[in-house]
Amino acid sequence: MHHYASASATTPRFCPTLAFWPAEPGSAPRRFDPQTSTYAALPDEFVIRELLAAPDLDTFQRDHGHLWQDGPELRFRHMRASARYWVAAALGEEDAALDAGVPEGWERASSLRSAAAHMRDTVNRELEAFSLRLVEVSSDGASEPALSVDVLQVAALQLAQLTADGLQARRCTNEPCGRAFVRQRSTRRKTTNSGEYAGTAHAAGVRYCSAECGKAQQARERRRRQRAEKGTRA
């Protein structure tokens, strides 16, 4: 889309420069938090990790940004049900997928088809935020609109991408963790004060959701071996 930006050279100075947004369909824009006026890219798999780990909406908003689109409580519940459904389906847990497919307090999904339809409709509602449009380009050349998308909408985009990649997830084999994941995170730190997330580069993880979980489980198994050796000597 570069040739669109270069059109600004011929645009009269008194006209604001306009550009396509999102610049590339499928790219993940950063979420905007109007309370702190900060942008942040979400770490990979945020939608099946942080979103599901949050105990409630207030904690979630405090840690990850304000949900400023209409109906945050309902949106939060529907997106969590959708993420839980995806995780259960990706782990091959049919019964859990039926239970997870609708928000808490709702009647259990009657079929996996209807649970999948709930996820599809929920994600599609959130994805409306990413409709292709013209936005003003600021003086520093940034074309990210100030009020573009909130954290749940970016999470929905992640879920859409996970779904498009196919149903593949596994559980972390660090015993106290057991979290579902697709790829290992090499670092897992909280957001910094500026609202930016710490680096979340990942390697192809086989057994653990994070490097920290791998270290913890290896230490546990080492202690067990040491105890067993002591036991045989005694």
Residues that bind Zn ion (CB under 5 A): 172, 174, 177, 179, 209, 213
Q: Give the SS3 label for residue 60.
A: helix
Output the smallest distance, CB 172 to Zn ion, in A: 3
Q: Give the SS3 label for residue 170.
A: strand
In terms of Cα–Cα distance, which of 129, 106, 98 is closest to 32?
129
State how far the Cα of 23 lies from the Cα of 101, in Å rounded to an integer.
33
**Beta pairing partners, 171:** 180
Q: Give the SS3 label for residue 38.
A: strand
> Do the bridges between strand 38-40 and strand 180-181 make them parallel or antiparallel, or are there none, so unpaired?
unpaired
State how far the Cα of 226 lies from the Cα of 230, in Å rounded to an integer.
6
| Beta carbon nearer to Zn ion, 118 or 179 | 179
| Beta carbon nearer to Zn ion, 178 or 199 | 178
The tokens describing 204, both together, are 């192809």
| Beta carbon nearer to Zn ion, 84 or 179 | 179
For the chain, how many residues are written? 234
Output the smallest distance, CB 171 to Zn ion, in A: 8
State how far the Cα of 209 lies from the Cα of 229, in Å rounded to an integer.
29
CB 18 within 8 A of CB 136: yes
The tokens describing 70, both together, are 């209409």
| Beta carbon nearer to Zn ion, 128 or 175 | 175
Q: What is the number of helices (H) and of strands (E) in the chain?
A: 8, 6
| Beta carbon nearer to Zn ion, 42 or 172 | 172
| Beta carbon nearer to Zn ion, 143 or 174 | 174
